[in-house]
Amino acid sequence: MISPSLPALLAELADAIGLPAALAIAHNRGGQMVYIPQPDHLPDSHWLVETVGMDAARTVAAHLGGGCHLIPLGPTGTRATIKTAITDSLQRGLSITQIVAETGVSRRTVERHRATLRQK
């Protein structure tokens, strides 16, 4: 195993495709539920191919393909920075999906922040 400090799925990906590629996946889709197709159904335009290249994407697809997976966040920014970004995004009226994509936090984190703001 490359790094015991990584969430299990990212550590598994790092073992299969290398740490930089696993972190690129976390940076691109961390906190999001994503569909990973089987290797023979992986188009060049798929986000995974665009993120790590076709060879690594096929390796990931062979390992995880054919289903949906919640991609862990991996290493991210500070909590205060993230909280501010979520609050600002909610106040701008962005959807949860947009906020997850913009901030790199999980959907549950945005939902919790939104619930807290509504209680105030």
Residues making up the chain, counted from first to last? 120
Where in the chain are the domains?
A: 8-70, 79-119
pLDDT tens, position by position, 33-91:
999 999 999 999 999 999 999 999 999 999 998 899 999 887 754 666 788 889 999 99
State phi, psi for 6 to the nearest 5 degrees: -80, 150
Residue 20 has pLDDT above 60, yes or no: yes
Tokens in use for 9?
């799925």
| Cβ 47 vs Cβ 29: under 8 Å | yes
Mean pLDDT of the chain: 88
One DSSP character per residue, 13-47 reads HHHHH-HHHHHHHHHHHTT-EEEE--GGG--TTSH
